[in-house]
Amino acid sequence: MDIAGIAQTRYTTKAFDPSRTIPASLMAQLRTVLRLSPSSVNSQPWHFVVAASSGAKERIAKAMQGPYAYNEPKVLNASHVVVLCGKAALDDAHLEAIVAQENRDGRFLAPENMATQDKSRRFYVNLHRDEWKDERTWIDRQVYLALGTLLLAAGAVGVDACTMEGFDGDALDAELGLSRRSLRPLVVVALGYRAADDFNAGLPKSRLPEDVVLTEL
């Protein structure tokens, strides 16, 4: 599979065709890619809110007003919109849910491995929370890792995407009740198909040359 070719041809879609919907089978694949994303110590410190209906997209678009109004049409015209949220913290309930799931999934061949795995994960969680004091930004990095897998996966299945950091997080929280669920909205991705007049579709991708961004030791 020519994954470099997919990385070359995927791009940030600035205008979506409102008449086109991503087939359910493809959205199921992209949801699965998000859910299966790797994360540090399998912490899965995220939640994904998906809007498919017009009404749901209008709710998200309430966060694309005022200085963020340039993003409103992308949300309204896309087929699906995903809000990638980070958890406020990796609390006990979450850590217990993870290790219980790992147990159900059969990752512990010896019973004592379950406690070892739980202890190891908590060591890193405590390290980030108590010593390095970067639990939140550590969480946020994992959410962006999931974002990276989503964007490449979308390109691989021929779905166009637009990633937006420009939105009113407080408005989105008020509309979706995220902080009540201990979630913080970090980034929004519109998914769908480019409009015929999307100016960005015709422009070449631009990146710094390899000798600038990469050193071979």
Residues 123-152 that bind a second copy (CB under 8 A): 124, 137, 140-152
Q: Is 213 in the site for a second copy (CB under 8 A)?
A: yes
What is the Cα 134 distance to its own chain's centre?
20
Interhelix angle for 169-176 vs 54-61, to 10°?
140
- Kindly indicate which of the ranges 15-23, 71-79, 155-163, 190-198 contains the residues binding a second copy, using the contact rule CB under 8 A: 155-163
Among 13, 16, 22, 46, binds a second copy (CB under 8 A): 46
**Nearest to 59, CA basis, from 167, 170, 165, 176:** 176
Q: Is 1 in the site for a second copy (CB under 8 A)?
A: yes
Cβ atoms of 209 and 23 closer than 8 Å: no
Pick 18 or 103: Cβ nearer a second copy: 103
Instruction: Record the tokens describing residue 91, joined without a space.
Output: 């609390």
- Kindly indicate which of the ranges 15-23, 33-41, 71-79, 190-198 contains the residues binding a second copy, using the contact rule CB under 8 A: 33-41
Q: Across the chain, which distance is largest between two alpha carbons, in Å?
A: 59
Pick 51 or 78: Cβ nearer a second copy: 51
* Residues carrying an active site annotation: 14, 74, 165
